Chain A
Amino acid sequence: MPDLLLELRSEEIPARMQRKAAGDLRKMVTDGLVEAGLTYEAAREYWTPRRLVLDLRGLTARSKDVHEEIKGPSTKAPPQAVEGFLRKAGLSDVSQAHVHSDPKKGDFYVAHISRPGRAAEEIIADLMPGVIRTFPWPKSMRWGQASAKPGSLRWVRPLQSIVCTFGPETEEPVVVDFEIDGIRSGNVTYGHRFHAPGPITVRRFDDYVAKLDAAKVVVDADRRKEIILTEAQNLAFASGLDLVEDEGLLEEVSGLVEWPVVLLGAFEEDFLSIPPEVIRLTIRANQKCFVTRPQGREDVLSNRFVVTSNIEAKDHGKEIAHGNGKVVRARLSDALYFWKTDQADLPDLDMLSASAEKFGLDLKKPLDQRMARLDRLGVTFHAKLGTQGERVARIARLAEELAPLVGADPALARRAAVLAKADLQTEVVGEFPELQGLMGRKYALLQGENPSVAAALEEHYKPQGPSDRVPTDPVSVAVALADKLDTLTGFWAIDEKPTGSKDPYALRRAALGLIRIVLENGLNFSIDPINDVQVLRHQIGASPVAPEKLGPILSSAVRGGLFSQDTRALVAKAKADPPRWLNLIEEHDPSVSDDLRTFLQDRLKVYLRDNGVSHDTIDAAITPESCNLLTIVRRVEALGSFLDSEDGRNLLAGTKRAANILAAEEKKGTAIAEAVDPALFRDEAEKNLDAAVNQAEKEAGQAIQNEDFSAAMRALSALREPVDSFFERVLVNDEDQAVRANRLALLSRIRAATGQVADFSKIAG
């Protein structure tokens, strides 16, 4: 069976786009061929910076002949209907249609269409221009003379040539001939830009790969990666070094070269005083080079780096290594300058004193100075959410308030929160934003901060994703929670919530982070009062009047809620001379935090489902008012294991039966007694059930008060036997209306008793 070779050669394709583009090419071509009625045995894509390649094996040489019948209207149908049918079927006259008979419908027209199979070459030639024109590049461009007219071909960079050959292994393949915007397919490609710039005629994939290899082009990206990695490791090893592996960088570098040649470069050892993360990023981001470590050392870097060049240089790479070394040195000089500058005093310290006072900063310390400057410059966090300084002030207050709930020292939590964003004003973070947090920690340790405070500057950003570690040090936990809650309440307060696939402020990630911190640290508190308070902080704004009154009110509300006795007493006291913000508190609109709670519950559901909990168990255990994430999860877990037990399954069946009967009777309008009347019991089973329900309700209620959900489930399991025997022995639909109403009341008691633990009606099965 014939094979197809396709090469689209262009000017340099951005490294980050190559792999996906080659995959898209395979998919578009194979989908198109299959749709046209061909089959194939295997398809594999390859790529280099200058080409996308498809190797398609075992393609059928022709598509099959197709015979089909298109049913038309009745022979008595009006002429327009018949004309429409002829158009659709591609017939020019009704005489070309057949007449079929149907006992019900009578006579109707049928078009017999037969399409002869087409040669694969023809199909490919038809398919390719469309594939190329509609190729899904993330960004594409026009070029050259053709771009003077609208609708000219777009490609990621100018497309230079197309190889498209087709044929069985035993024969000379032919060129599948097509043309797009003046580029005509052929069997000629070109080798390495500098080593083998001449034309190369190719026949099929096997000789294509071999000839390009000889022309210093490795077509297979995975092989290029392997070459780079192995040679880099060997080169490092030979110099007593270990390569610091970096898969992302390896992927990128393999997309920058067609013929990888690995070399070792060096910089002065003095630069090793720069933190290793900064050195690695400097060399990686700007130079696309790997760094190395002395063998067996994890904590330090060596002054040698690995550069991957694209040529076998005449001088074996001496100039290249030398040139790269020069650039690396210049970059590291900048980095060293940044690192030193960040540890030195800022100019104009006297301009920062107001900000310093606001945050209790010590202007003798460099990081404190940076925080003061962040505030002083009024750097915007978000147009509607104010400045970074205002944000830090809110986070600091909340972190201090949360500290007792998470077992942290409030003073340390506050200090950490105050410094948490200071490193945004450092030169290193300005250059490498991804080092935010880490640099704060380093600078904090250098100025002698408490280690928990220093750690929190880095860890409050965690977890960054589902696989990232969750902070456990209480100070970090307090600041991380305060930061995330402030972000969530802020964007909720200005009504900028995630919608569909749009989540520009990564609020889902913040919510998941919040949930994981709470659960993995076993933190037991209700989020509603906290959300209320932080929403209020956003609504009241940055510089409230009478802050000495506001602070205690909000702190009290974090502890006990906005309507607790303590809070109300403080609010009452403030009324003597009511500040402007008092209205916002007294007439607090809970809808914002309610909505945020629903969002958090939804994220929690997603999180639980991802952890294998079935969605109906989750739905049964969560009520809209549930606002303590930890107890929700405990309830879900207890319910899950209860439902796995035999008692649980039976009770579920019994409860469902009770609920179904009730629902049916409620629909019919049957009378149901307000309360159960023991005098109307006719059977021992009724009496037993009533007693059991009362007992179970009391015990389960008590257990839930104590947040002991397993005990609540155990209490419910005592219901199983009485419920079963009730249904076995008692007919609910008694002739006596009063007895029936009483029995229905008893059933609704089952629903009520179980309902305080979980909504069993939401559980499937």
Chain B
Amino acid sequence: MSVDLPAHMRPQNSFQGLILTLHNYWAERGCIILQPYDMEVGAGTFHPATTLRALGPRRWNAAYVQPSRRPKDGRYGENPNRLQHYYQYQVILKPNPPNLQELYLGSLEAIGIDPLLHDIRFVEDDWESPTLGAWGLGWECWCDGMEVSQFTYFQQVCGIECAPVSGELTYGLERLAMYVQGVDNVYDLNFNGLEGADKVTYGEVFLQAEQEYSRHNFEYADTAMLLRHFDDAEKECKALLDAGAKAGEGGAHRMVLPAYDQAIKASHVFNLLDARGVISVTERQSYILRVRNLAKACGEAFLLTDAGGFSAAA
């Protein structure tokens, strides 16, 4: 870590300082720094920069923050750790470099976690996303017994074998920040690293949103409308994929990304419906399956695009 950072920019003092430090660290190592995807997603993995770019043969190294929405995890702002909206820091490296573990540990040192002071561990965790038809092997990364990241070697995404394999790192930013700032309540995090009248806390930025969205997610979201939206998104996704397949020449596909947006939308709508408690245990499975089918179809179409490594047959 560069020692000459001003105090209010240091990860130990500042939530945004933590993000900026990670940006710098991964930018220095050749990643493109992307901005969050402009749709509601449940995790950084849903960003097309991960889901779709993990497919096909092309090199891809990217890092970005992704606001993630888990409607069910809302606690009306009353729980010190649980949020329905939080930030994930996502790094994807394709193919994974041979020293990915060292790179990851370097990023922890960059944000001020000394591995000779803190107990850092790689604990088995087989990652799976049923909605994305994706799985991989890797670990939960523990720091003094707390899970601070997920580390995954993608084996399959959208039901398609990854060739080559990507390494995916996901940092839970609030949790990591609470750790390095030594704070027990997420709302007490110092957001901007300043003190006194200039200090802005996480609570000042997000508490009201947590309260309002919890109300929305659990009580007021219009379920009849959401059910319609789910069906619409599903229909639109399929229609766009069909149209894109017809438009492409030589077997290429011309409309994957807009179709994938609809898959993301369906997934988020499903999460909202789930939070409203209108999906029974048996229905749950079939909704997940429907989203997975969309994701799979998108993944297969992506392989027929330029970014997916497709070159039209001569």
Q: Which residues of A contact B (CB under 8 A)?
A: 11-12, 14-16, 49, 139-150, 156-158, 160, 193-195, 256-257, 287-289, 307, 309-311, 313-315, 319-320, 322-324, 326-328, 330, 378-380
Q: Give Cα distance in the complex from A380 to B281, angstroms.
A: 8
- The verdict on B163 contacting chain A, using a C-beta distance below 8 Å, is yes
The interface stretch among B12-20, B139-147, B249-257 is: B139-147
CB–CB A150/B163 < 8 A:
yes
Min C-beta distance of A658 to chain B, whole Å = 63
Min C-beta distance of B239 to chain A, whole Å = 33
- Considering only residues 85-120 of chain B, those with a C-beta below 8 Å from chain A are 95-98, 101, 105, 114-120
Q: Which of B117, B121, B136, B155 contacts A319, CB < 8 Å?
A: B117
CB–CB A319/B144 < 8 A:
yes
CB–CB A143/B117 < 8 A:
no
Across the two chains, which residue of chain B brings its CB closest to A148? Answer: B164
CB–CB A147/B165 < 8 A:
yes
CB–CB B119/A310 < 8 A:
yes
Please indicate the chain A residues that have their CB under 8 angstroms from the CB of B165 in the complex. 141-144, 147
Min C-beta distance of A506 to chain B, whole Å = 21
Q: Which of A145, A307, A319, A378 contacts B164, CB < 8 Å?
A: A145
- The verdict on B153 contacting chain A, using a C-beta distance below 8 Å, is yes
CB–CB B116/A194 < 8 A:
yes
User: A147 with B119: in contact, given A287-B145, A328-B145 (CB under 8 Å)?
Assistant: no
CB–CB A320/B144 < 8 A:
yes
Please indicate the chain A residues that have their CB under 8 angstroms from the CB of B117 in the complex. 313-315, 319
CB–CB B281/A144 < 8 A:
no
CB–CB B153/A327 < 8 A:
no
Across the two chains, which residue of chain A brings its CB closest to B81? Answer: A330
Add 7 more A-B contacts to A141-B155, A313-B119, A315-B117 (CB < 8 A).
A49-B122, A149-B163, A307-B145, A310-B120, A314-B114, A314-B116, A326-B146
Please indicate the chain A residues that have their CB under 8 angstroms from the CB of B155 in the complex. 141-142
Min C-beta distance of B249 to chain A, whole Å = 27
CB–CB B179/A323 < 8 A:
yes
Please indicate the chain A residues that have their CB under 8 angstroms from the CB of B153 in the complex. 141-143, 157-158
The contact string, 1 if C-beta is below 8 Å from chain A, for chain B 67-97, is 0000000000000110000000000000111
Please indicate the chain B residues that have their CB under 8 angstroms from the CB of A328 in the complex. 145
CB–CB B124/A147 < 8 A:
no
- The verdict on B212 contacting chain A, using a C-beta distance below 8 Å, is no
Q: Give Cα distance in the complex from A147 to B56, angstroms.
A: 12
CB–CB B280/A148 < 8 A:
no
Sampled A-B contacts (6; CB under 8 Å): A142-B153, A147-B95, A256-B121, A310-B119, A314-B117, A379-B281
Q: Give Cα distance in the complex from A322 to B123, angstroms.
A: 20
- The verdict on B172 contacting chain A, using a C-beta distance below 8 Å, is no
Min C-beta distance of B33 to chain A, whole Å = 23
Q: Which of B120, B145, B281, B282 contacts A327, CB < 8 Å?
A: B145
- The verdict on B203 contacting chain A, using a C-beta distance below 8 Å, is no
Across the two chains, which residue of chain B brings its CB closest to A142? Answer: B165
Q: Give Cα distance in the complex from A114 to B142, angstroms.
A: 59
CB–CB B122/A12 < 8 A:
yes
Please indicate the chain B residues that have their CB under 8 angstroms from the CB of A150 in the complex. 163
Q: Give Cα distance in the complex from A156 to B138, angstroms.
A: 9
Q: Give Cα distance in the complex from A49 to B146, angstroms.
A: 19
The contact string, 1 if C-beta is below 8 Å from chain A, for chain B 146-179, is 1000000101000000111101000000000001
CB–CB A158/B122 < 8 A:
no
- The verdict on B244 contacting chain A, using a C-beta distance below 8 Å, is no
Q: Give Cα distance in the complex from A112 to B184, angstroms.
A: 81
CB–CB B146/A327 < 8 A:
yes
4 A-B pairs with the lowest CB-CB distances in the bound complex, closest first: A323-B144, A14-B124, A148-B164, A324-B145
- The verdict on B219 contacting chain A, using a C-beta distance below 8 Å, is no
CB–CB B145/A11 < 8 A:
no
Q: Which residues of B contact A (CB under 8 A)?
A: 57, 80-81, 95-98, 101, 105, 114-124, 126, 136-139, 143-146, 153, 155, 162-165, 167, 179, 184, 280-282
Please indicate the chain A residues that have their CB under 8 angstroms from the CB of B163 in the complex. 147-150
Min C-beta distance of A272 to chain B, whole Å = 20
Across the two chains, which residue of chain B brings its CB closest to A255? Answer: B124
Q: Give Cα distance in the complex from A630 to B143, angstroms.
A: 58
Please indicate the chain A residues that have their CB under 8 angstroms from the CB of B144 in the complex. 319-320, 322-324, 326-327
CB–CB A320/B118 < 8 A:
yes
Please indicate the chain B residues that have their CB under 8 angstroms from the CB of A149 in the complex. 163
Please indicate the chain A residues that have their CB under 8 angstroms from the CB of B115 in the complex. 193-194, 311
Q: Which of B96, B118, B167 has most chain A Cβ within 10 Å?
A: B118
Across the two chains, which residue of chain A brings its CB closest to B145? Answer: A324
Across the two chains, which residue of chain A brings its CB closest to B144? Answer: A323
Min C-beta distance of B7 to chain A, whole Å = 21
CB–CB B184/A310 < 8 A:
no
Q: Give Cα distance in the complex from A662 to B97, angstroms.
A: 82
Q: Which of A12, A147, A323, A326 contacts B162, CB < 8 Å?
A: A147
Q: Give Cα distance in the complex from A307 to B142, angstroms.
A: 13
Across the two chains, which residue of chain B brings its CB closest to A154? Answer: B155
Q: Give Cα distance in the complex from A14 to B122, angstroms.
A: 9
Q: Give Cα distance in the complex from A322 to B146, angstroms.
A: 11
Q: Give Cα distance in the complex from A194 to B137, angstroms.
A: 23
Min C-beta distance of A267 to chain B, whole Å = 12
CB–CB A144/B95 < 8 A:
yes
CB–CB B137/A139 < 8 A:
yes
Q: Give Cα distance in the complex from A380 to B283, angstroms.
A: 12
Q: Give Cα distance in the complex from A160 to B96, angstroms.
A: 14
Min C-beta distance of B235 to chain A, whole Å = 28
Please indicate the chain A residues that have their CB under 8 angstroms from the CB of B121 in the complex. 256-257, 310
CB–CB A326/B281 < 8 A:
no
Please indicate the chain B residues that have their CB under 8 angstroms from the CB of A146 in the complex. 164
CB–CB B116/A323 < 8 A:
no
Q: Which of A12, A287, A328 has most chain B Cβ within 10 Å?
A: A12
Q: Give Cα distance in the complex from A287 to B117, angstroms.
A: 18
Min C-beta distance of A358 to chain B, whole Å = 20
Min C-beta distance of B121 to chain A, whole Å = 6
CB–CB B137/A141 < 8 A:
yes
Min C-beta distance of B101 to chain A, whole Å = 6
CB–CB A141/B136 < 8 A:
yes
Q: Give Cα distance in the complex from A258 to B128, angstroms.
A: 28
Q: Give Cα distance in the complex from A330 to B82, angstroms.
A: 11
Min C-beta distance of B122 to chain A, whole Å = 4
Please indicate the chain A residues that have their CB under 8 angstroms from the CB of B162 in the complex. 142, 147
Please indicate the chain B residues that have their CB under 8 angstroms from the CB of A193 in the complex. 105, 115
CB–CB A16/B124 < 8 A:
yes
Please indicate the chain A residues that have their CB under 8 angstroms from the CB of B146 in the complex. 323, 326-327
Q: Which of B95, B126, B145 contacts A145, CB < 8 Å?
A: B95
CB–CB A323/B95 < 8 A:
no
Across the two chains, which residue of chain A brings its CB closest to B162? Answer: A147
Please indicate the chain A residues that have their CB under 8 angstroms from the CB of B96 in the complex. 143-144
Across the two chains, which residue of chain A brings its CB closest to B167? Answer: A143
Q: Give Cα distance in the complex from A103 to B114, angstroms.
A: 86
Across the two chains, which residue of chain A brings its CB closest to B137? Answer: A141
Min C-beta distance of A138 to chain B, whole Å = 10
Min C-beta distance of B94 to chain A, whole Å = 10
Across the two chains, which residue of chain B brings its CB closest to A17? Answer: B124
Min C-beta distance of B288 to chain A, whole Å = 16
Min C-beta distance of A407 to chain B, whole Å = 39
Across the two chains, which residue of chain B brings its CB closest to A197? Answer: B102
Q: Give Cα distance in the complex from A156 to B120, angstroms.
A: 20
